[in-house]
Amino acid sequence: SVNYIGAVSLLNIIIEDFKIRKSGSIIAISSVAGVRGRQMNFVYGSAKAGLTTYLSGLRNMLYKDNISVTNILLGPTYTRMSAGHNLMPVL
């Protein structure tokens, strides 16, 4: 819920102000985990895939209003969620 619904809910509110101003930049953090389903984190990956697709559509919609949307796809990071995982780089 946090990784998709939380981010999208906030962005849907924020973009209304941006559209009125006809300018701005949105920078969001997603993950390479959304690129391909993995056995150990496919639910997390599916949320990140959804967020990445949402941001792509948002970017296309807001382009005409001079609003940029940047999506940063982080690779493996050491967090409580990744404890015990082999954090090999995703190629």
Catalytic residue selected from 4, 44, 63, 78? 44
* Tokens representing residue 65 in the block: 């209003």
Question: By C-alpha distance, which of 12, 11, 4 is closest to 50?
Answer: 4
CA–CA distance, 23 with 15 (Å, rounded to integer): 10
* Tokens representing residue 68 in the block: 């940029």
44 is catalytic: yes
CA–CA distance, 22 with 67 (Å, rounded to integer): 7
- Which amino acids are annotated catalytic? 44
